[in-house]
Structure 1
Amino acid sequence: MRRHMLAAAALLAAALAPATPAAAASGPCQPIGTAGLADLIPGDSTLGLSDLPPAPAGVDLPQQIHLRGTAETFNRRWSFALRGGLVYVKEASQSGGWRTMSLPGCLAGHVTGVSVDDDELVAVDEEGRIYTMDHALNAPWTWNWTHRFGAPLWLGGGNTVPYHSARWTWSVLSPGEDKVWRDTAGNDHPVGAAKVSHVFALSEDGSRITYVDPWLPADHSYEMATPKGGRFQARALSTTASTSFVVNQYGDMYTRLYDFDISGSDKVFFGYSYADQRGATFPKIQLPAPDWARQPKIPGEVTDRISVHKTGPGSNARELRVEGRDQGRTGYWSKALTAPGWTFTATDEPLSGQLLQNTPDDRSDDTLAAPSPYGYAGAAGAVSARVDAFDPAVAATPLTLRAGGQELRVTLHTVDGLRQTAHAPGLSSDPRSFYGNIEVPQTVLDHLDSYDPALRSLVRDRLTGARFTDSDVTVTDKALAIARLDLRLDRV
């Protein structure tokens, strides 16, 4: 979530706060850091680089890194490579010249994954614990580490990569590099006074994406739905500046702009609206958040090694890359986020990803995960209601209302609420609160007099005849309650 005016207070608190028992239990390591604060003004200085020892001659390191992953990664200034539990660094613009990074003692030799975006780098150890290095767009002498992660204010006792997944990625949306992002109404919104930082991770079957944010509770409860209503099964995931990129086993690719703030969850700092914000003088953030956009198929061989990186300000300034082969030569396919087609760049390096069955036709529906098992039904007076396959990661769910033999279908929009205490993943007996909104189709409002009196009364009285109406929504694994409709549905 965005840091705003709390950034300076967070730095002071970090300097004064002792390591907590939770931090000690998870392996304390560099408890004080400046991750999450506005970065130093980026420059071209390499001060401190020459103090790092050259990489040993026997370490196999590339001349250049072309794709971001968790073994090799890059930002605008630096390239990083993981080998044997250690991390090596060089200037991204230079060919070769690798040096051995300085790591905290508890992390050196134990790194299993590394990912950099913008001015922050994340390293993960064998237990999946997250460590953050700040000022990654600046000179090496400014780099500093912290194991702290989670509420409050990036001062929590630490967190781990969800699912203990090897398919994770680090994303940073910043005011310095990205400046603005664009909502579905076409309005550009400033990133804010500080950054939005998430680790995104794929579940084992590739159908769920969980994210952890260093200012949110240190749990694994926040999710972003995959394409196809959360049922698409991805083979790989890459994210930069809140733009995620996924691919399935048939080479079907999708991208999405999404994070905690963009989703509609950060009502403390931002105004959101489901009503059309196009042309508004002071537009709110348009909801629902941008959905997945299907990318064109690549006309050649591809692997599951995919990458996205930022190329300039604005949420469309992204480049997609996919490792592959064309006419017998290895390299990568690339395109700007909104470009209509792909081009191939030969590197003649061995392929390191797994080849996909890249078919020219769309096979996104061929490997869908099972729908959510959570269905609910109930009644309020003469009106019965039903919700099928409710998924906490999916932003829009059909809500079917019936009375007098008539059926009225509306949309129940839900986004995770802001919380500072941990919650179990998914649905459980612990009530989960959502910011909800009930959307009534305009065609229904235009012909409301033709509906059963009970349905007509519900729309006019409970929803004030409006197209969009906010409502708190509370869900457990046994019940779903919609406050505005005074409606409680039980699990079926």
Structure 2
Amino acid sequence: MLRHALAATVLTAGVLAPGVTPAAAEPCRPVGTAGLADLVPGESTLGLSALPPATVDLPPQVHLRGTAETFNRRWSFALREGRMYVKEAARTGGWRTMDLPGCLAGQVSGISVDDDELVALDRSGRIYTMDHALNAPWTWNWTHRYGAPLWLGDGNTVPYDSARWSWSVLSPGEDGVWRDTAGNDHPVGGAKVSHVFALSADGSRITYVDPWLPADHSYEMATPHRGRFQAEALSTAASTSLVVNRYGDLYTRLYDFDISGADKIFFSYSYQDQRGAAFPKIQLPAPDWVHQPKIPASGQITDRISVHKTGRGSNARELRVEGRDQGRTGYWHKALSAPGWDFTATGQPLRGRLLHNTPDDRSTDTLAPVSPHDYSGRQGEVTVRVDAFDVAVAGTPLTLQAGDRTLRVTLHTVDGLRQTRQTPGLTSQPRQFYGAIELPRSVLDDLDAQHPALSGLIRDRLGSARFTDTDVTVTDRTLTIAALGLTLDRT
């Protein structure tokens, strides 16, 4: 969520100055400056020469962001046998061995960097954050803290014990603004939006973990096709996610906690059309997945995919996919909105798993099962149904039926802001959503043509409005829509 400037005052309690090593008495509980305002990035490499040269075999350049090798604008990082290495991103070779806290030395199982923050996992999947990753090495410092309040929680782990995860940072310094579906640019906010995004074992669930939110694994972003698309790999940078399935179908989406519509404390959102508004609110629903062009079928591709930021604004992204073209190894790449792919040869051996890159769209050839959460209830003569409700899906069909007339509208839901832990998925623990009921314009234009019970409900409960905000509370047995004054039971 929005990193409010007041948080800096709170976070100074119990953190170390840049470059200060955690006390030896607490070697496995490092604290640092993550969550505070950024240092002004410079081009200094002060502290790099003090690090010993790497003695392991490492590539001359890192071209794809992953959990063994990764990069940002300034630095490339690599992981080998639990230890981390760094070099200047613009330089060929020159790797150095990083000095890590005692809790991480020799114990790192995965890394990912974006913007000025780097995340490393220990062998148990616990998250550690290194701050100032766009700055000189002397400023780098670590924290195990993660979660509410204000990035001061006791820590968290990567969801699903996933090997397919990525660190994402959208920042005012590097990105500045992002664009909503109405075409309006909005400032990132007072500080950064940082998430770990992780892919489930079957590739159909993406959970994101924000260091300012409760230390749980409850927040999700749906995959394409209403959360049923099964991805083989995931990469995320600056809140732009890239996924691919086994047939080479690639999708991107701009999405994070703030963009989703969940941070009502600091942002204003609206489902009403914000195009041309003098002071536009953030347009909802949030941007959906965009199906990217297929890579030419003549080229081979693997499941090593990567996205990174290339400048200011949410369209400044480059997509990369490891592969082969005419016998040459390297990577396919395109700007986010470019119409097609180009190939760059690197000569490095392919390390990913080959995908079956078909020329046709096979996005729906492998889909996860439909959500089993169906609900039904009655409001007088009107039967109300919600089918296949999924906590990660923003828009769900809401069916209203009276007599022989059936009206299908949309129930929009956004996972709400909370500071206490929530069980993932739907359980007996009530789950609160920010909701809205959307009526088609055609229905409102000819309301009297509807069944009297339907038109009465629309006038009395929804005020004949196209959008009606409503609280929505869901468990694994009931779904309550406050605006309708109705609780539906699981069917």
SS at match of 1:364: coil
CA contact (8 A) 2:15 2:33 kept: no
- Residues 384, 141 of structure 1: CA spacing in aligned structure 2 closer, same or farther, 3 A cutoff? same
Q: Deviations over 1:169-217 (max 9, x none)?
A: 0000000000000000000000011000000000000000000000000
Which residue does the alignment assign to 2:381?
Answer: 382
Q: What is the CA–CA distance in structure 1 between the aligned matches of 2:343 and 2:459, rounded to whole Å?
A: 57
Q: Deviations over 1:314-373 (max 9, x none)?
A: 000000000000000100000000000000000111000000000000000000000101
Q: What is the CA–CA distance in structure 2 between the aligned matches of 1:30 and 1:193, rounded to whole Å?
A: 28
Cα deviation for residue 272 of structure 1 reads 0.2
- Aligned counterpart for 2:234 among listed residues 234, 237, 240: 237
Which residue does the alignment assign to 1:479?
Answer: 478
Cα deviation for residue 457 of structure 1 reads 1.1
CA contact (8 A) 1:296 1:341 kept: yes
- Aligned counterpart for 1:154 among listed residues 151, 156, 161: 151
Alignment of 1:288-437 (within 5 A): 288-299=285-296, 300-437=299-436
Cα deviation for residue 280 of structure 1 reads 0.2
Size of the aligned set, in residue pairs, is 480
Letter in 2 for 1:165: S
CA contact (8 A) 1:29 1:146 kept: no
Which residue does the alignment assign to 2:193?
Answer: 196
Q: Deviations over 1:361-393 (max 9, x none)?
A: 000000000010100011111111111100000
Q: What is the CA–CA distance in structure 2 between the aligned matches of 1:5 and 1:45, rounded to whole Å?
A: 27
CA contact (8 A) 2:206 2:220 kept: yes
Cα deviation for residue 5 of structure 1 reads 2.1
Letter in 1 for 2:412: H
Which residue does the alignment assign to 1:276?
Answer: 273
Which residue does the alignment assign to 1:13?
Answer: 13
Q: What is the CA–CA distance in structure 1 between the aligned matches of 2:118 and 2:77, rounded to whole Å?
A: 9
CA contact (8 A) 1:74 1:116 kept: yes
Which residue does the alignment assign to 1:23?
Answer: none
Q: Deviations over 1:101-154 (max 9, x none)?
A: 111101110101000000000000111000000000000000000000000000
Q: Deviations over 1:200-250 (max 9, x none)?
A: 000000000000000000000000000000000000000000000000000
Q: Deviations over 1:242-290 (max 9, x none)?
A: 0000000000000000000000000010000000000000000000000
1:2 aligns with 2:2: yes
Letter in 1 for 2:368: A
Alignment of 1:91-130 (within 5 A): 91-130=88-127
Q: What is the CA–CA distance in structure 2 between the aligned matches of 1:317 and 1:357, rounded to whole Å?
A: 29
Which residue does the alignment assign to 1:78?
Answer: 75
SS at match of 1:302: strand
Q: What is the CA–CA distance in structure 2 between the aligned matches of 1:253 and 1:137, rounded to whole Å?
A: 29
CA contact (8 A) 1:28 1:147 kept: no
Q: What is the CA–CA distance in structure 2 between the aligned matches of 1:6 and 1:438, rounded to whole Å?
A: 35
Which residue does the alignment assign to 1:287?
Answer: 284
CA contact (8 A) 2:8 2:35 kept: no
1:170 aligns with 2:172: no
Letter in 2 for 1:90: K
SS at match of 2:32: coil
CA contact (8 A) 1:107 1:125 kept: yes
Letter in 2 for 1:118: D
Q: What is the CA–CA distance in structure 2 between the aligned matches of 1:32 and 1:123, rounded to whole Å?
A: 14
Which residue does the alignment assign to 1:256?
Answer: 253
Q: What is the CA–CA distance in structure 1 between the aligned matches of 2:10 and 2:217, rounded to whole Å?
A: 23
Letter in 2 for 1:456: S
Q: Deviations over 1:146-170 (max 9, x none)?
A: 0000000000000000000000000
CA contact (8 A) 1:74 1:117 kept: yes
* TM-score using structure 2 length: 0.97
Q: What is the CA–CA distance in structure 1 between the aligned matches of 2:6 and 2:436, rounded to whole Å?
A: 30
Cα deviation for residue 421 of structure 1 reads 0.4
Q: Deviations over 1:393-425 (max 9, x none)?
A: 000000000112211111000000000000110
Letter in 2 for 1:204: A
5+ long unaligned stretches in structure 1: 17-26
Q: What is the CA–CA distance in structure 1 between the aligned matches of 2:10 and 2:284, rounded to whole Å?
A: 30
Q: What is the CA–CA distance in structure 2 between the aligned matches of 1:480 and 1:221, rounded to whole Å?
A: 18
Letter in 2 for 1:353: G
Cα deviation for residue 28 of structure 1 reads 7.5
CA contact (8 A) 1:77 1:93 kept: yes
Which residue does the alignment assign to 1:24?
Answer: none
SS at match of 2:48: coil
Q: What is the CA–CA distance in structure 2 between the aligned matches of 1:36 and 1:138, rounded to whole Å?
A: 15
Q: What is the CA–CA distance in structure 1 between the aligned matches of 2:30 and 2:47, rounded to whole Å?
A: 22
Cα deviation for residue 38 of structure 1 reads 2.0
1:218 aligns with 2:215: yes
Letter in 2 for 1:339: A
CA contact (8 A) 2:228 2:367 kept: yes
Q: What is the CA–CA distance in structure 1 between the aligned matches of 2:378 and 2:149, rounded to whole Å?
A: 40
Q: What is the CA–CA distance in structure 2 between the aligned matches of 1:150 and 1:48, rounded to whole Å?
A: 30
Letter in 2 for 1:132: T
CA contact (8 A) 2:426 2:475 kept: yes
CA contact (8 A) 1:10 1:154 kept: no
CA contact (8 A) 2:27 2:101 kept: no
Letter in 1 for 2:105: A
CA contact (8 A) 1:30 1:145 kept: no
CA contact (8 A) 1:171 1:199 kept: yes
SS at match of 1:90: strand
RMSD: 1.0
SS at match of 2:306: strand
CA contact (8 A) 2:376 2:488 kept: yes
Which residue does the alignment assign to 2:437?
Answer: 438
Cα deviation for residue 32 of structure 1 reads 2.1
SS at match of 1:4: coil
SS at match of 2:5: helix
SS at match of 1:353: coil
CA contact (8 A) 1:167 1:237 kept: yes
Letter in 2 for 1:371: V
Cα deviation for residue 29 of structure 1 reads 3.1
Q: What is the CA–CA distance in structure 1 between the aligned matches of 2:289 and 2:381, rounded to whole Å?
A: 38
CA contact (8 A) 1:14 1:155 kept: no
* TM-score using structure 1 length: 0.96
